[in-house]
Structure 1
Amino acid sequence: MGVDELDVVVVGAGQAGLATSHELSARGVEHVVLEAAQPGGSWSERRDSFTLVGPNHTVRLPGATYAGDDPGGFMSGTAVTEHLRDYAARLPAELRTGTPVRRLTPARGGYRLDTDDGAVRARQVVVATGAFQRPLRLPALAGLAPSVAVVDVAGYRNPAALPEGAVLVVGSGQSACQIAEELVLAGRRVVMACGRAPWFPRRVGGRDLFEWLIAAGFYEQTPGDVPPAARHRANVQATGSRGGHDLHYRTLHALGVELAGHLLAVDGLTARVATDLGETLATADEGHAVVASLVRRVCAVEGAPAPDIEPPSDTAVLVAAAPDSLDLTGFGAVVVACGFRSRYAKWVQVPGVVDEHGFPVHVDGESVVAPGLHFVGVHFLRRRRSSLLFGVGDDATACAERVARPT
């Protein structure tokens, strides 16, 4: 079988790949999009109850801005998938579905991409495989008894799909909180091994949390504005479920979720947890204070009165009830929702293409060690919003301009 010779290839047909394809076509750049499954990427693989956390009006892809009648609502994962597939159907470039790229290597005049349908050679390649590629696994669970199932956030679907029994949820961010809430509302006993994520009310002063953060320029932060490791920190605890409502450690505790410190180790059916719940809650409250200061700053700039922001309630009762070990007898599953990491180094076989944290080493999206190799849709690629539905379009535009630039 011969090698298919192409000029430009985009790998991935999720929001990043489709936005890039739109922008390349707008500049007259012929290209082909390779997608492992179907357009929409991983959105179709989310849990059954998944909704956007940002309001619908934050869907701002080039050529596919949200235009529905519920801008303040929160689309389901199915609705987002349909939105992206409609977007893909309107784009002029060739889209090859069911074509996973297994390996990318440098080749004469560009790059070779080995796919299930044969090899492709391209002068330039845009890697747009998404920000959430590999769920983080926990070494602490290595000693867990095989009678308890371990399900990562990518594999979780709904409470009924888990084995019967109590559930230990490990994590602190949006997914961990949303899954814990769903499980306890389904009648499960839920214990949560907590990490350090910020929280804030869903709405303050008649404005949504995301609207305050956008207005404050929070999502305009660049990689240079935060330490590299901070790019992996959990997002503010929030949910778009049931129209969007407050969701954080205190609301979960009120529903009956048992809170514990972070998971240290598991030996059979005994889990050892840290006695750091007090520090964890204090860190979360520090995040509340940071967001509150951003809200007041926005009001000062806009010349508007700052809304009343209720301070966090006392955590003494929550801390006093925290255990230092858990008997997992009767538990059916552990759900691990501790975030994601990239997997570029697994298939992009270019030495030095990513740093020690797994992020591409780049200038404006183009690799510094492999000219003509571009990245779009990476968390914190150029800004905090680079992987988000209201940020990836700007990076796609910048990428398309670099690709189209005469060489």
Structure 2
Amino acid sequence: MANYLETYAAELDLPVRLNAEVEALTRSNDRYVLETGSNRLTATNVIIATGPFQHPSIPEFAEELDSSITQLHSSDYQCPDRLPAGAALVVGAGNSGAEIAVELACADRSTWLSGRGTGHIPSRVFNSRPFWWLADSVFTVDTWLGRKVKKRSQGHGDPLIRLTPADIRQRGVERVPRTEGVTGGKPRLEDGHIFDVDAVVWATGFRPEFGWIDLLGLAFDANGYPIHEKGVIDEEPGLYFLGLSFQRTPVSATIGGVSSDARYIASRLTDAD
């Protein structure tokens, strides 16, 4: 995939600027202004394609854990050897949490996986053409069924794909309820059980970070995501988003599903011209 993107940029001679973090996005008259350190770029159209995984989300009560407990977010996890020996609690039962928990259990650690079940889509189904056709053509924000699926998916982890609930149990991982707080410096579950563990891995997802955008016409919802119509910001002509979770379909934030959203944004750019 990396090779493809590199070749694509080279063959089309695209003016790619690497290691250029955009620190601010504002507007001056009819042009958008992007500040990148010492550089200043202006554009009529801007597509923000920063994806859904921006800032690790960790519960505030994590700060109350005893300092003797090693804790890290799933995005910083590398392998069992990077954690201290002993029992581990993985908080968040989606794909990342389940896979980390299984790896820790296979390394002969007592491991608990905390969180609600997210369901399971068999990999043979997920990788099938009918699934991707349904995801891209039926379960969209344009249909009643798609809007219902989107509403149900908000606030929940993605369904398990590579692992099944049975796989998790067979590898020695014990499923436990959600972690809701801390008591005596130790994690506390919603059923009141308190765990004495040596490490906690927060597989609790990510939250958006758009504080660098300062545009009067751009509004955000209660979860911090931009309010848009299939990635288009009507109140800010020329501003678009790409790769948001369920931007248009349940696979909008995946490599396999972002292409149709990109085509839609490209068509709107053409219309704008």
Measured against the shorter chain, the TM-score band is: 0.7 to 0.9
Q: 1:398 and 1:200 mapped to 2: Cα distance?
A: 27
Indicate conservation of the 8 Å contact 2:135/2:249, yes or no.
Answer: no
Aligned counterpart in structure 1 of residue 235 of structure 2, from 366, 369, 382: 369
Structure 1 equivalent of residue 256 of structure 2: 390
Aligned counterpart in structure 2 of residue 175 of structure 1, from 80, 96, 113: 96
Indicate conservation of the 8 Å contact 1:199/1:236, yes or no.
Answer: yes
Q: How far is 1:125 from its partner?
A: 0.6
3-state SS of 1:183 partner = helix
Provide closer, same or farther for how the CA distance between residues 82 and 182 of structure 1 changes in structure 2, counting only shifts above 3 A. Answer: farther
Q: How does 1:71-82 map to 2 (within 5 A)?
A: 80-82=1-3
1:222 is the counterpart of 2:222: no
**One-letter amino acid of the structure 1 residue matched with residue 29 of structure 2:** R
Structure 2 equivalent of residue 236 of structure 1: 159
Indicate conservation of the 8 Å contact 1:231/1:380, yes or no.
Answer: no
Judge which range, 214-223 or 112-121, deviates more.
214-223
Q: How does 1:332-351 map to 2 (within 5 A)?
A: 333-344=199-210, 346-351=211-216
Aligned counterpart in structure 1 of residue 223 of structure 2, from 342, 345, 357: 357
Q: 2:65 and 2:240 mapped to 1: Cα distance?
A: 41
Structure 2 equivalent of residue 272 of structure 1: 188
**One-letter amino acid of the structure 2 residue matched with residue 340 of structure 1:** F
Structure 1 equivalent of residue 59 of structure 2: 138
Q: How does 1:77-116 map to 2 (within 5 A)?
A: 80-116=1-37
1:327 is the counterpart of 2:196: yes
3-state SS of 1:195 partner = coil
Q: 2:136 and 2:200 mapped to 1: Cα distance?
A: 32
Provide closer, same or farther for how the CA distance between residues 94 and 369 of structure 1 changes in structure 2, counting only shifts above 3 A. Answer: same
Runs of 4+ in 1 over 4 A off after TM superposition: none
Q: Deviations over 1:108-138 (max 9, x none)?
A: 2121111124221211111111121122211
Q: How far is 1:327 from its partner?
A: 1.7
Q: 1:324 and 1:187 mapped to 2: Cα distance?
A: 23
Q: How far is 1:385 from its partner?
A: 1.7
Q: How far is 1:228 from its partner?
A: 4.4
3-state SS of 1:367 partner = coil
Q: How far is 1:261 from its partner?
A: 0.7
Q: Deviations over 1:241-283 (max 9, x none)?
A: xxxxxx23332222111221100111344321123xxxxxxxx
Aligned counterpart in structure 1 of residue 127 of structure 2, from 210, 227, 231: 210
Structure 1 equivalent of residue 245 of structure 2: 379
Judge which range, 351-360 or 172-181, deviates more.
351-360
1:248 is the counterpart of 2:164: yes
Indicate conservation of the 8 Å contact 1:167/1:189, yes or no.
Answer: yes
Q: How far is 1:170 from its partner?
A: 0.3
Indicate conservation of the 8 Å contact 1:145/1:267, yes or no.
Answer: no
Q: 1:121 and 1:228 mapped to 2: Cα distance?
A: 37
Stretches of structure 1 lacking an aligned partner (at least 5 in a row): 1-79, 240-246, 276-322
Alpha-carbon RMSD: 2.3
**One-letter amino acid of the structure 2 residue matched with residue 324 of structure 1:** H
Q: How far is 1:406 from its partner?
A: 4.6
Q: How far is 1:157 from its partner?
A: 1.5
Indicate conservation of the 8 Å contact 2:126/2:132, yes or no.
Answer: no
Q: How far is 1:145 from its partner?
A: 0.7
Provide closer, same or farther for how the CA distance between residues 222 and 216 of structure 1 changes in structure 2, counting only shifts above 3 A. Answer: closer
Q: Deviations over 1:122-163 (max 9, x none)?
A: 111111111211222112323101121221121111222223
Indicate conservation of the 8 Å contact 2:183/2:194, yes or no.
Answer: no
Indicate conservation of the 8 Å contact 2:93/2:116, yes or no.
Answer: yes
Calculate the TM-score normalised by the size of structure 2: 0.87
Q: Deviations over 1:76-106 (max 9, x none)?
A: xxxx444433443333220000100011112
Indicate conservation of the 8 Å contact 1:104/1:112, yes or no.
Answer: yes
Indicate conservation of the 8 Å contact 1:260/1:324, yes or no.
Answer: no
1:404 is the counterpart of 2:250: no
3-state SS of 1:157 partner = coil
Q: How does 1:311-322 map to 2 (within 5 A)?
A: none
**One-letter amino acid of the structure 2 residue matched with residue 137 of structure 1:** I
Q: 1:125 and 1:133 mapped to 2: Cα distance?
A: 18
3-state SS of 2:6 partner = helix
Q: 2:264 and 2:129 mapped to 1: Cα distance?
A: 26
Q: 1:364 and 1:84 mapped to 2: Cα distance?
A: 24
Q: 1:385 and 1:359 mapped to 2: Cα distance?
A: 17
Provide closer, same or farther for how the CA distance between residues 213 and 185 of structure 1 changes in structure 2, counting only shifts above 3 A. Answer: farther
Indicate conservation of the 8 Å contact 2:90/2:202, yes or no.
Answer: yes
